[in-house]
Amino acid sequence: MSGDEINPAAVAQAVEDVQGDDRWMSQIWRELFSPLHALNFGIGGDTTCNVLWRLQNGELDNIRPKVRFNWASTGPEREKSTAQGNSFVPVMHFIQIRTPNQYLIGPLQVTVVWVGTNNHEHSAEQVAGGILAIAQLLTSRLPKTKVVVLGLLARGDGPNPLREKNAAVNGFLRSWLPRLGQAQFLDVGAGFVHSDGTISTRDMFDFLHLTAAGYRAIAKPLSDLLLQILDETPEEKRASLV
Amino acid sequence: MHHIANASLTDKVMSSGDSNPAATPTPCVDIQGDGRWMSLHNHFVSNSKDKEPDVLFVGDSLVQLLHQFEVWRELFSPLHALNFGVGGDETQHVLWRLSNGELAHISPKVVVLWVGTHNHGHTAEQICGGIMAIVQLIKDKLPKAYTLVLGVLPRGKMPNPLRERNAQVNKLVKDAVSSLPHASLLNVDPGFVHSDGSISHQDLYDFLHLTPQGYQAVCQPLHAHLKGLLEKQAEN
């Protein structure tokens, strides 16, 4: 993208309350004052612009060096991350069971970014640029934190233009993200599109959002990567149980 | 969340005094580019061909998401329930879906209808009209079925016009079904609004959609009520 053009997908924009109950701003409000509970900053429907706006307007300000233990259904699982993005993330949050007294003190080590599928007004290149802007913001604001960007999933019942667009976004991200040092790309979409080109409602109940089974499928490669990143962390940064 | 962006064809048109856009069957126009609304509708129609549900849940995201939580398996699968919820649907969209095949292959004893909160731009009277049009349609297509309309929940973190609108919808629908032997309104709000007027994200994580805890609070009494209805239907 030429340096003279402004990428609209990288312009921070708050969601305008057109429905009339002010829900978007309320959610941010809760997150600003509850950083200890803020593991998941996903908001349904958000575009890259909305995520950028949120990160620039307080969501990173109060991140204290907190790390939380989450007990997943298979046993204790160490997770030192927040997840930011669109509507996929709040549902994933509920698969984990929190035990309130399991807090560790330590640096925030990983941020997972998952956004872009809702950017309907933007081209694939613009969307990738918006995601890159988010990754750049995170690495500059939180220099010790690694950023993992998840690839956009295929969507829709059968082949359609949005699948091609999302694949193109992923293609841009694969080549651009490694230049950011602290950021990397992870494709978790393998296996959702069957040989006949269809997506099953067993994986995406509305051909867009993941079912529990769908989340389980993506959780494996993601948790493998997170564990790998955390294992690479030098000893002095590791938290000790208080 | 879970909102399929919709463009209702009749939203802008209120030319004749009698037409109610919330009660005019309207499919969703695909403005995103992957045709998911129609795919889901077709999926529901074909999916119903080999099923014999006793209970059909139909409505918007609150119905659709219910299917994704453990509470569905726990409470409603044992009742042989089918779920035709679509995120973002307004009354006129549900009306279109039910008019175009979703009721063609099944004979549930009870239809649970939960819709109305996404009818943006419509008045409470129009939304009530839309809900009642669905109730009438179900009566026409399934003469022996009972329709249980669930009250629309409050929304938003603090008091706001949509809460008032939803409360008014519930009041109007309750009056409208009071004379009908085949339908009733059930208030499923266990008291989500606290004394200071706030709603907790522990119940409605985005102040609109239910958490697992929120669903439990709504579904336990709903389940009990449904069982009572099914027993009555079996006696008749």
Task: Give SS3 for A75.
Answer: strand
- Residues B32-63: pLDDT tens digits? 999 999 999 999 999 999 999 999 999 999 99
Catalytic residue check, B184: no
Sequence-separated (6 or more) residues with CB below 8 Å from residue A84: A41, A42, A51, A54, A55, A59, A111, A112, A113, A114, A115, A134
Helices (H), B59-211: 61-66, 70-71, 91-97, 124-141, 161-177
Amino acid at B113: L
Residue B206 Cα, gap to closest chain A Cα (Å): 6
Classify residue B39 as exposed, middle or buried by CB count within 10 Å of its CB (0-12, 13-18, 19+).
buried
The Cα–Cα gap between A6 and B131 comes to 46
Distance CA B148, CA B135 (A): 9
pLDDT digits (tens, 9 = 90+) for B90-132: 999 999 999 999 999 999 999 999 999 999 999 999 999 999 9
Distance (Å, whole) CA B207 – CA B202: 9
B14: helix, strand or coil: coil
Minimum Cα–Cα distance from A31: chain B residue? B201
How crowded is the C-beta side of B119, counted as CA atoms within 13 Å?
Answer: 33
Contact A113, A152 (CB under 8 A): no
Q: Give the global pTM.
A: 0.81
- Nearest CB to B34: which of A21, A156, A209? A156
Q: How far apart are CA A156 and CA A120, in angstroms?
A: 14
Cα dihedral A86, A87, A88, A92 sign: positive
Which of A151, A181, A180, A144 lies closest to A63 in space, CA to CA?
A144
The single-letter code of the amino acid at A224 is: D
Interfacial residues of A (vs B; Cβ cutoff 8 Å): 18-23, 26-27, 29-30, 43-45, 87, 90-91, 94, 120, 155-158, 160-163, 165, 201, 205-209, 211-212
Interface test with A, best of B205, B208, B210, B211 (most A CBs within 10 A): B205
d(C-alpha B138, C-alpha B56), whole Å? 11
Chain-centroid distance of CA A64 in Å reads: 19
Per-residue pLDDT of chain A (242 residues; tens, 9 = 90+): 445 678 888 888 777 776 666 555 434 323 332 333 335 777 889 999 999 999 999 878 766 433 332 322 232 333 333 444 444 433 333 323 233 333 333 456 778 899 999 999 999 999 999 999 999 999 888 888 889 999 999 999 999 999 999 999 999 999 999 999 899 999 999 999 999 999 999 999 999 998 878 887 887 788 778 778 777 755 444 444 32
Q: Reduced to 3 states, what is the DSSP secondary structure of residue B19?
A: coil
- In 3D space, the residue among B86, B158, B172, B88 whose CA is nearest the CA of residue B123 turns out to be B172
Axis-axis angle for helices A124-141, A161-176 (nearest 10): 40
Answer for the pair A242, A104: CB distance below 8 angstroms, yes or no: yes
Q: Which residues make Cβ contacts (< 8 Å) with residue B233, sequence separation at least 6? A: B109, B110, B144, B146
More confident residue, A42 or B27: B27
Angle of helix B124-141 versus helix B161-177 axis, rounded to 10: 40
Q: Which of B64, B158, B201 sits opposite A205 (nearest CB)?
A: B64
